[in-house]
Amino acid sequence: MAKIEGEIYIDRPPEVVFDVVADERNEPLYNPKMTAVSLLSDAQNGSGSRFVATMKSRMRTFSMMIEFTDFERPTRLGSVSTVGTMRTVGALLFKPKGSGTVMSWSWDIGLRGITKLAAPIVSWMGRRQERAIWTGLKTMLEAEVSNGGE
């Protein structure tokens, strides 16, 4: 099992940050490794919403299944993501701070078979990837305000 945790301050209200993240189809806008997302379920935004994401890694693409398990607007978004022999379970938390939001993440990554041996590498890579993804979100949302958007 690998564990990934972190947090980032985004100078936007929790409702704004939550709403962007809670529509998984927005993620390709701030995560360059995610090229497309499709909604699979009838429930667009809520517990039980399911998505399939197309991811790219170097020269190949692969699919990842995502399901929201907790949906408490605007404070908590829990999910389960599955790709190959890896299953990630955890949540994003959104806490107000000043005019913005401290968004934190905590993921438990379950590995099966021989991939269990790679847990330290998965943890290291996962921390870097999560930081890059959420820095992309921060940049996007804060640029909207500075460009006059709301």
* 100-111/76-83 β-pairing: unpaired
Residue 150, pLDDT > 60, answer no
104: nearest Cα among 27, 17, 5, 37: 5
Mind listing the pLDDT tens digit for each residue in 8-26? 999 999 999 999 999 999 9
Structurally, the chain folds into a number of domains equal to 1
Mind listing the pLDDT tens digit for each residue in 122-148? 787 889 999 999 999 999 999 987 666
Euclidean distance between CA atoms 143 and 88, whole angstroms: 30
Distances (CA, A) of 19 to 51, 125, 140: 16, 27, 14
> Which residue is listed with tokens 């908590």?
76
Cβ 46 vs Cβ 133: under 8 Å = no
DSSP letter string, 96-119: EETTEEEEEEEEEEEE-GGGGGGH
Q: Mean pLDDT across the stretch 2-6?
A: 93
Q: Which domain holds residue 87?
A: 2-146
Mind listing the pLDDT tens digit for each residue in 45-61? 899 999 999 999 888 99
Q: How confident is the model at residue 73, as a pLDDT?
A: 97
Q: How confident is the model at residue 80 (pLDDT cuts 50, 70, 90)?
A: very high
CATH code, domain with 87:
3.30.530.20
Q: Structure pTM?
A: 0.90
